[in-house]
Chains A and B, each alone.
Chain A
Amino acid sequence: MVTADLDPQAPQAPEPPEASPRTPGRARGFFSGRRPEYSPAEMPTTGYQVFRVVNGVILTLVVLAVLYPIVNIVARSFSDAAYIDAGKVDLWPRGFNVATYKAVLSNGLFWTDYRNTVVYTVVSTVISLALTTTYAYVLSKKDLRGRTFLVGVAVFTMFFSGGLIPNYVLVNNLGMRDSIWAMVLPNAISVFNLLVMKAFFESMPSELEEAAAIDGLSSYGILLRIVLPLSKAVLATMTLFYAVASWNSWFSAFLYLDKPNLYPVSLYLRNMIAGATNQSSLGMGQDDTQAAANIQAVTIVLTTLPILFVYPFVQRYFVKGVMIGAVKG
């Protein structure tokens, strides 16, 4: 009898006693935390200890290599233009001021556009996820007739595209100019994400679905009640991918939107940077110097910050043991 344990949080195998955090001599705190089981064969291996140290060093270097330029950027966003121009800003702000932040944040249009970005991102992610998941599920059925054709339809679009003008004309003719649909529909399915999701679905053991079928579930039911709950990791990943892509996108906006109060904030800020660094010989006032020097830095901080908060929420779904106990032969 197949017993399908559908609870994705199914408990792991019981821990061997040596791995308990209360083992004497082990330091606690966030460098130890909840430690998984070690077999007697692996625990005290010197080789592994060395590896752990090396790993720590490598990862520390990675963190430093990434953080250094980014901290520099954040420092610049708070620095006085004069110091930035003179190249004197390193890891710490010089001439600390929030003038550019104030200039950007006090503009009503900025907030309108920020709200637009949030709306576009949410709607776009939902639509994209729905379309991609269903299609990926269908494509993952290896014995479906016509499957190759369905896959080909998607893959072909990875290499060939209509081009800017035909797409523009299409959106125009559909009456979607200056509407949210122009932002969320034209690129709803990313074939890359589609194929990755399909690979995930294919790697799920078929016994689960067979068992559910025997229990009387239809394809719809299997998708909703069995496959999706067990695919939290890949769903979370795709949510992240689509959300970030939508958050950063400005291209569709510039192409299909004419009203500045419909822009996403990414386009607004991109335009602002272009204006601040524009060499136009007509009319750049002197008070714009401040903005020019650190506008890019401020832009980065403002657009990246929210996304950084999303990932920890998404990370929760990257849990181990999704399949534990699901299939017991």
Chain B
Amino acid sequence: MTSTDAADPIPGPRPPDEGPPSAGEAATAPVVRSKRTWSQSLRRDWRLYTLAVAPLVFFAIFKYEPMIGNVIAFRQYEPGGSIFGDQWVGLMYVKMMFQDPSFWTVFTNTAIIGALTLVVCFPLPIVLALLLNELRGRFVKRFVQSVSYLPHFLSMVIVAGIVMEFLSAGGPVNSALKAVGHSPILFMQQPGWFRQIYVSSEVWQTVGWGTIIYLAALTSIDQDLYEAARIDGAGRWRQTWHVTLPGLRPTMMTLLVLNIGTFMSVGFEKILLLYNPLTYPTADVISTYLYRMGVNSGNFSYSAAIGLFESIIGLVLVVTANRISRRLVGTSLW
């Protein structure tokens, strides 16, 4: 099914009148990258490069230009001095961070809550999307879809309020407990319950919205494959396993890698709203700890340094996850 037209020896869908053939390139070769020189690439792909100009300008102006100011985190700012500071104290802050015993507690909490969220909240939208896909009836399907993503629109404050009311001593959960003779549990005050509470509220808020991408992805699966599977006698379940899931795989892996990369930035706002000193042992994460530090003691240099540390970890995670994804599945972010 590949083009075998001799007029276009360079593989890939490019206008046939562009550029001389490169020596040693077969017409049906797969991705051939570094065998082309820059001038050849430019000549062949200049249109693509022009398409990339506007976005690049965007990144340069709005993302990279302000980053120059970020360098300040690793220095101390002298009023009147140049913006690049006069002393490198970044290492001092990093050392302070590693020696701070509280830091390791919050680091662990961040890792645990992040991992839990990932493990629980990642598969559920896929499951829900598949369940929705099995619904017959356009109206029902649309209704359930629309309802399921409503929580996405509620602000964190509202969601936290709903959660706290739900779990209060007079709320539905404790009323149910009372009905079976159990004494009320003050869930919000128990460190042992915090993770479950947090993850559940994340599920409630994000699952519906998360199905949207998968539902869109489902439409791009070749229907012929289903046809073929049917002809082979596969029931609905086997169709799902052998056609749907593999079809969703690229989307799933992309989202997985992206979510791994951001898993350290565990929900700052929601935790801030749901935690209290009694649940600090399990609830306090890096971002909330830094926030309190900033509010209490005005020590923002430390906060910024740790913020950078978090970012670096995130980047490392993404790169690693991507590498694994590429090796295992063939999907890669780049």
Which residues of A are at the interface with B, using a C-beta cutoff of 8 A? 2, 12-13, 30-35, 37, 39, 41-42, 45, 47-48, 51-52, 55, 58-59, 62-63, 65-67, 69-70, 73, 87, 130-132, 134-135, 137-139, 141-148, 150-163, 165-167, 169-170, 174, 185-189, 192, 195-196, 199-200, 202-204, 206-207, 209-214, 216-220, 222-223, 233-234, 236-237, 240-241, 244, 248, 296, 300, 303-304, 307-308, 311-312, 315, 318-324, 327, 329
A31 to B14, CA, bound (A): 48
Structural contact, B258 and A146, CB atoms closer than 8 A: no
B334 at the interface (CB under 8 A from A): yes
Give 1 or 0 for each of B111-137: 1 = CB within 8 Å of chain A CB. Answer: 000000000000000001001101111
B100 at the interface (CB under 8 A from A): no
- B312 cross-chain contacts in A, Cβ below 8 A: 159
A160 to B217, CA, bound (A): 29
6 sample A-B contacts, Cβ–Cβ < 8 Å, listed by A number: A39-B234, A55-B131, A145-B38, A154-B55, A203-B250, A324-B224
Structural contact, B204 and A65, CB atoms closer than 8 A: yes
- B38 cross-chain contacts in A, Cβ below 8 A: 145
Contact flag A220-B47 (CB < 8 Å), given A42-B230, A199-B251, A210-B3: yes
Comparing B57-65, B182-190, B191-199, the segment that makes contact with chain A is B57-65
Structural contact, A48 and B236, CB atoms closer than 8 A: yes
- B140 cross-chain contacts in A, Cβ below 8 A: 30-31, 33
8 closest pairs, A vs B, by CB?
Answer: A162-B66, A166-B69, A166-B66, A151-B334, A209-B13, A213-B13, A135-B55, A39-B230
- A167 cross-chain contacts in B, Cβ below 8 A: 62, 66
Structural contact, A162 and B13, CB atoms closer than 8 A: no
Structural contact, A219 and B33, CB atoms closer than 8 A: no
Contact flag A55-B135 (CB < 8 Å), given A134-B54, A147-B334: yes
Structural contact, B131 and A145, CB atoms closer than 8 A: no
A304 to B224, CA, bound (A): 39
Structural contact, A329 and B1, CB atoms closer than 8 A: yes
Structural contact, B63 and A157, CB atoms closer than 8 A: yes
Size category of the binding interface on chain B: 35 or more
Contact flag A160-B67 (CB < 8 Å), given A45-B235, A213-B15, A218-B15: yes
- Across the interface, A33 reaches (CB within 8 A) one of B49, B138, B219, B262, namely B138
B147 at the interface (CB under 8 A from A): yes
Name, among B8, B58, B250, the residue most crowded by chain A CB atoms within 10 Å (CB to CB). B58
- Taking CB atoms and an 8 Å cut-off, the chain B residues in 198-244 that contact chain A are 204, 208, 212-213, 215-220, 222-224, 227, 230-231, 233-237
| SS of A interface (majority) | helix
Structural contact, A33 and B70, CB atoms closer than 8 A: no
A63 to B142, CA, bound (A): 12
Structural contact, A161 and B63, CB atoms closer than 8 A: yes
Return B157 CB to nearest CB of chain A, in Å.
8
New A-B contacts (8) at CB < 8 Å, excluding given A32-B136, A209-B13, A304-B154: A45-B236, A87-B170, A134-B51, A158-B318, A162-B63, A165-B69, A170-B65, A214-B5
- A219 cross-chain contacts in B, Cβ below 8 A: 14-15, 45, 47-48, 51
Return B90 CB to nearest CB of chain A, in Å.
14
- Number of A-B residue pairs having CB atoms within 8 Å of each other in the complex: 302
A185 to B67, CA, bound (A): 17
B333 at the interface (CB under 8 A from A): yes
Contact flag A216-B15 (CB < 8 Å), given A144-B41, A233-B219, A312-B146: yes
A181 to B125, CA, bound (A): 35
Structural contact, B13 and A148, CB atoms closer than 8 A: no
Which residues of B are at the interface with A, using a C-beta cutoff of 8 A? 1-3, 5, 8, 11-16, 31-34, 36, 38, 41, 45, 47-49, 51-52, 54-56, 58-59, 61-70, 128, 131-132, 134-140, 142-155, 157-158, 162, 166, 170, 204, 208, 212-213, 215-220, 222-224, 227, 230-231, 233-237, 250-251, 254-255, 258, 261-262, 308, 311-312, 314-315, 318, 331, 333-334
- Across the interface, B153 reaches (CB within 8 A) one of A185, A220, A307, A315, namely A307
- A143 cross-chain contacts in B, Cβ below 8 A: 11-12, 31-33
A87 to B216, CA, bound (A): 41
- A62 cross-chain contacts in B, Cβ below 8 A: 128, 144, 147-148
Structural contact, B51 and A33, CB atoms closer than 8 A: no
Structural contact, B235 and A42, CB atoms closer than 8 A: yes
A69 to B144, CA, bound (A): 16
A230 to B68, CA, bound (A): 41
Structural contact, A233 and B220, CB atoms closer than 8 A: yes
Structural contact, A320 and B137, CB atoms closer than 8 A: no
Closest to B331 in A: A199
A304 to B64, CA, bound (A): 34
Closest to A303 in B: B153
Structural contact, A66 and B52, CB atoms closer than 8 A: no
Closest to A153 in B: B59
- B5 cross-chain contacts in A, Cβ below 8 A: 214
- Across the interface, A170 reaches (CB within 8 A) one of B66, B154, B158, B220, namely B66
Return B280 CB to nearest CB of chain A, in Å.
25
- B49 cross-chain contacts in A, Cβ below 8 A: 138
Contact flag A34-B62 (CB < 8 Å), given A2-B1, A55-B131, A66-B204: no
- Across the interface, B58 reaches (CB within 8 A) one of A58, A142, A188, A237, namely A188
Name, among B14, B34, B142, B251, the residue most crowded by chain A CB atoms within 10 Å (CB to CB). B14
Return B24 CB to nearest CB of chain A, in Å.
15
Contact flag A207-B1 (CB < 8 Å), given A41-B235, A55-B134, A196-B213: yes
- Across the interface, B258 reaches (CB within 8 A) one of A147, A192, A248, A319, namely A192
Structural contact, B230 and A41, CB atoms closer than 8 A: yes
Structural contact, A323 and B223, CB atoms closer than 8 A: yes
Return A256 CB to nearest CB of chain B, in Å.
12
Contact flag A200-B136 (CB < 8 Å), given A144-B45, A144-B48: no
- Across the interface, A308 reaches (CB within 8 A) one of B32, B146, B334, namely B146
Structural contact, A13 and B223, CB atoms closer than 8 A: yes
Structural contact, A206 and B150, CB atoms closer than 8 A: no
